Amino acid sequence: MPELPEVETVRRGLEKSILNKKITEVIIKRKNVVKEPGVGQFKKGLIGKKVKGIIRRAKLIIIKLENNKYLIIHLRIAGWLEYGKQMEKARVVFKLSNEKYLNYMDQRLLGELRLRNSYEDLNFIKTLGPEPFDINSKQFQEIITKRKTNIKTLLLNQKVIAGIGNIYAQEALFLSGIDPQRPAYSLSNKEAGSLLKKIILVLKEGIKYGGSSVDTYRNIEGSKGGMEKRLKVYGRENEPCFSCGKAIAKIALAGRGTCFCAYCQK
DNA sequence: AATGGGACCTGCGCGC
DNA sequence: TGCGCGCAGGTCCCAT
């Protein structure tokens, strides 16, 4: 799924659905998705515990429990969480004290669940860059203008800036009129400032419309997002640019599909 | 130090 | 219809 807006949408949904509910049962159908601890300890640490908080950091959902343990969920590419009835295709099911279920769905089995005593010390989290909302344009300039990689690939590097993925990177670059292939250091201060503004704008728009359901992503209620209809370049190869009308191009950067308008983005 | 490619998985759509 | 291939919202590991 799941880039920052989708994960934030999930976080808000969880806050409404499972906060202060107790986990009464954990059914693990695919034990490989539970990365730590072992499935026995995983269940034992969760069953009978009340949910005390839902945190998002980058693309991670962090569920705080009353025993001060944290359930850390990374949805990776195809994961989502669905609340309500128990689902047949769920990989892990959490039964709650109100007789409802939280289903961990993940067609491709690339997602990860962890139960830990803390989350800040998880290596991935420790090495994350700042949230886009937490930096100003000067800090953003300092981050990107030292780097040689193309700007689009840099935006996907979670250690540089956290939460942006392949959809929103392409959208932000289109909105700021910057060619995704440009070396990061070649951006002027003005361009860097504009890019950060557009990143924040598009992420906020994504949150406002409940995320993008390009493929498997669903919100807590199992519904699609509304943002996928508002995307300007992602998934629009050969379709007309909304600004100039010429065909949207698609190239690969660091192995990832990248759509952009070669006329509007310089 | 930083970059690119492959690996991890499954399922879908496309062309032949 | 059936099959093989390429591709998919993310991140890690390894060789260079």
Q: Write the pLDDT tens digit of every residue in A8-26.
A: 999 999 999 999 999 999 9
Residue A62: domain span = 4-126
Verify whether residue A237 is a known catalytic residue.
Answer: no
Q: Tell me what the mean pLDDT of segment A168-184 comes to.
A: 95
Verify whether residue A208 is a known catalytic residue.
Answer: no
> What mean pLDDT is reported for chain A?
94
pLDDT in tens, A207-231: 999 999 888 888 999 988 899 999 9
A147 Cβ nearer than 7 Å to chain B strand: yes
Q: Residue A223 corresponds to which amino acid?
A: S
For residues A182 and A178, what is the distance between their CA atoms, to the nearest angstrom?
8
Pair of tokens at residue A55:
């945190």
Q: What is the 3-state secondary structure (H, E, C) of chain A?
A: CCCHHHHHHHHHHHHHHCCCCEEEEEEECCHHHEEECCHHHHHHHHCCCEEEEEEEECCEEEEEECCCCEEEEECCCCEEEEEECCCCCCCEEEEECCCCEEEEEECCCCCEEEEECCCCCCHHHHCCCCCHHHCCHHHHHHHHCCCCCEHHHHHHCCCCCCCCCHHHHHHHHHHCCCCCCCEHHHCCHHHHHHHHHHHHHHHHHHHHCCCCCCCCCCCCCCCCCCHHHHCCCCCCCCCECCCCCCECEEEEECCEEEEECCCCCC
Residues A222 and A176 in one domain: yes
The pLDDT of residue A128? 94
Domain membership of residue A107 (yes or no) is yes
User: Does the predicted model carry a pTM greater than 0.85?
Assistant: yes
Q: Tell me what the mean pLDDT of segment A22-45 comes to.
A: 95
Residues A172 and A244 in one domain: yes
Last residue of a domain, one of A97, A126, A155: A126
Residues A120 and A15 in one domain: yes
Asked if A132 and A161 touch (Cβ cutoff 8 Å), the reply is yes
Last residue of a domain, one of A70, A97, A126: A126
Q: Tell me what the mean pLDDT of segment A85-103 comes to.
A: 96
Structure confidence at residue A38 as a pLDDT band (50, 70, 90): very high
Residues A178 and A245 in one domain: yes
Q: Tell me what the mean pLDDT of segment A137-147 comes to.
A: 91
Cα-flanking dihedrals φ and ψ of residue A145, to 5°?
A: -80, -5
Residue A20 is part of a domain; what is its CATH number? 3.20.190.10
Structure confidence at residue A1 as a pLDDT band (50, 70, 90): low
Residues A9 and A77 in one domain: yes
The pLDDT of residue A145? 87
A88 Cβ nearer than 7 Å to chain B strand: no
In chain A, % of residues over pLDDT 70: 100
As for how many domains chain A has, the answer is: 2
What number of other Cβ atoms are within 10 A of residue A172's Cβ? 26
Q: In what order do the strands lie in the sheet with A79-84?
A: A23-28, A92-96, A101-106, A79-84
The pLDDT of residue A104? 96
Structure confidence at residue A55 as a pLDDT band (50, 70, 90): very high
Verify whether residue A22 is a known catalytic residue.
Answer: no
Residues A95 and A159 in one domain: no
Whether A53 shows a pLDDT value over 60: the answer reads yes
Domain membership of residue A139 (yes or no) is yes
Last residue of a domain, one of A126, A157, A192: A126
The whole-number Å distance from A76's CA to C14's C1' is 21
Whether A112 shows a pLDDT value over 90: the answer reads yes
The pLDDT of residue A146? 86
- As ranges, strand C nucleotides with an atom below 7 A of a protein CB are 7-12
Strand C near-CB residues (< 7 Å), A 110-169: 110, 123-124, 156, 158, 165-167
